[in-house]
Copies of this chain bind each other. A is one copy, B any other.
Amino acid sequence: MKAEIVSIGDELLVGQTVNNNAAFIGRLMSEINVDVQWLTSVGDNLERMQSALEAAWNRVDLVLTTGGLGPTHDDITKDALCRFFGVDYTFHTEIVDEIKSRFDARGMEMPDIVRNQGLIPTGAELIRNELGSAFGIRFQRAGKVLIAMPGVPFEMERMMTDSVVPYIRTLTGDDTILIRKIKTTGIIESKLVTVFKRLNDVRALADVAVLPKVTGVELRLTVRSLDPDDARIRMNSALSMTQEDIGEWIVAVGEDTLEEILGRELSSRGYTVSVAESCTGGLLADRLTSVPGSSRYFMGGIVSYSNEIKEKILGVPETLLDKAGAVSVEVAEAMAAGIRDAMKTDFGVSTTGIAGPGGGTPSKPVGLAFIAVAGPQGIVSDRVMFNINREMNKQRFAQAALNLLRRKLLKNSTA
């Protein structure tokens, strides 16, 4: 099945918004074997939108649009659809009722303009929007399909996952498609492909995409087959070869994030954790608490930018700060032990380093960090060195710290 994504909005053309929506849809489509051949972006202009819809409708089987479904004056996608399919509007009271009940639940008055959201091109199927007021629209004509979604990313993403992908699956047939993400950390792409000796053998079994991300290189294995058993066998062989070659750097197989894996590991074993952050500035706590239910095992954290707090709350000795310096393996270990004590948790994790762009010295340059994990069986620590920019440095320091916790937990379980 051939597809085109048509993204609507002036903000895309002037570069105010990067088209992450198209990338998200493209990824999901490639996973279900839909061949996206074109991405087109047009502005909020009726004539060009018409012309984009026409070109897309003529050259592919499935057209997915995002944007322009809001209630305001410059949202004209529905007008364009009415013209394109030669239909008028039908007013759907049930949409307005549902949206109004959501406003009511929040104790807010629904602005009048929102009533426009009840107007839907006649003959279109509705796609519920759980998170916003712009419902999706689906047209089916002569074996082709057009689906219009809102441009707000989280609304579109939920709609894609819950409704659009399952619907398209009913059209594309029953190929078994297995996809596994393999997330690595702590190794660069060019090194990874070198140590991955059997990469070509794996490629014979599965499509392999290699994606460098800020927190590590991600592999994506895709197996397609008409026979589900064959698909499963091929995926399992590909996975076990991958595990054997590069298992040391793999933090996750599947969609789970490192913090979700840690969360499961910690809560299933009844462990608690706390963090003491300097160079990661709250990001470590933020990532750990992004997991629903994290309050069961995450007791709290301290962001200690000042030395005074390192001393007072974490009990890092002043002499150590003077002698080794705040950015040192000794202070990292003292911080991990200190937060573990202060918060009375099983594990304490710490980071101290120089995120930059300022604050570096020849012996302690920007990008240097020390991380430590204190646990029931002692303290481990590590030195890491990255330098891209402040934001990415923070991200990679946090990733390294979470990964050190993961390794420590693994060791604990085998001890």
Contact = CB atoms under 8 A, between A and B. Distances in A.
Interface of A: 7, 10-20, 22-30, 36-43, 45, 48, 52, 55, 70-72, 74, 106-107, 111-114, 131, 133, 152, 154, 181, 189-191, 193-194, 209-212, 214, 220, 222, 275, 277, 280-290, 292-295, 298-306, 308-309, 313, 342-344, 355-359, 385, 387-392, 394
Interface of A is mostly: mixed
Given A300-B302, A313-B313, A390-B290, A36 B17 contact: no
Contact of A18 (B10, B23, B154, B280): B23
Nearest to A130: B388
Contacts of A111: 190-191, 194
Given A282-B282, A286-B281, A302-B301, A13 B39 contact: yes
B289 A286 contact: no
A306 B339 CA distance: 14
9 contacts: A14-B26, A15-B24, A16-B27, A19-B19, A37-B45, A38-B52, A106-B387, A277-B285, A292-B358
A199 to B, nearest CB: 9
A327 to B, nearest CB: 12
A24 B13 CA distance: 10
A309 B343 contact: yes
B305 A303 contact: no
A318 B357 CA distance: 42
A18 B19 contact: yes
A385 B102 CA distance: 12
| Residue of A214, A290, A293 with highest tally of chain B CB at under 10 A | A290
Contacts of A114: 190
B27 A15 contact: yes
Contacts of A305: 289, 294-295, 298-300
Contact of A36 (B13, B30, B181, B389): B13
Contacts of A48: 37-38
A306 B299 contact: yes
B30 A15 contact: yes
Contacts of A212: 70, 152
A285 B303 contact: yes
A15 B70 CA distance: 25
Given A13-B39, A48-B37, A55-B55, A391 B290 contact: yes
A189 B70 contact: yes
A272 to B, nearest CB: 9
A11 B290 contact: no
B292 A390 contact: yes
A301 B302 CA distance: 6
Nearest to A55: B55
A210 B391 CA distance: 27
Contacts of A23: 12, 15-19
Contact of A356 (B112, B280, B292, B304): B292
The 8 closest A-B pairs by CB, nearest first: A282-B285, A281-B289, A15-B26, A15-B27, A282-B286, A39-B41, A15-B23, A14-B30
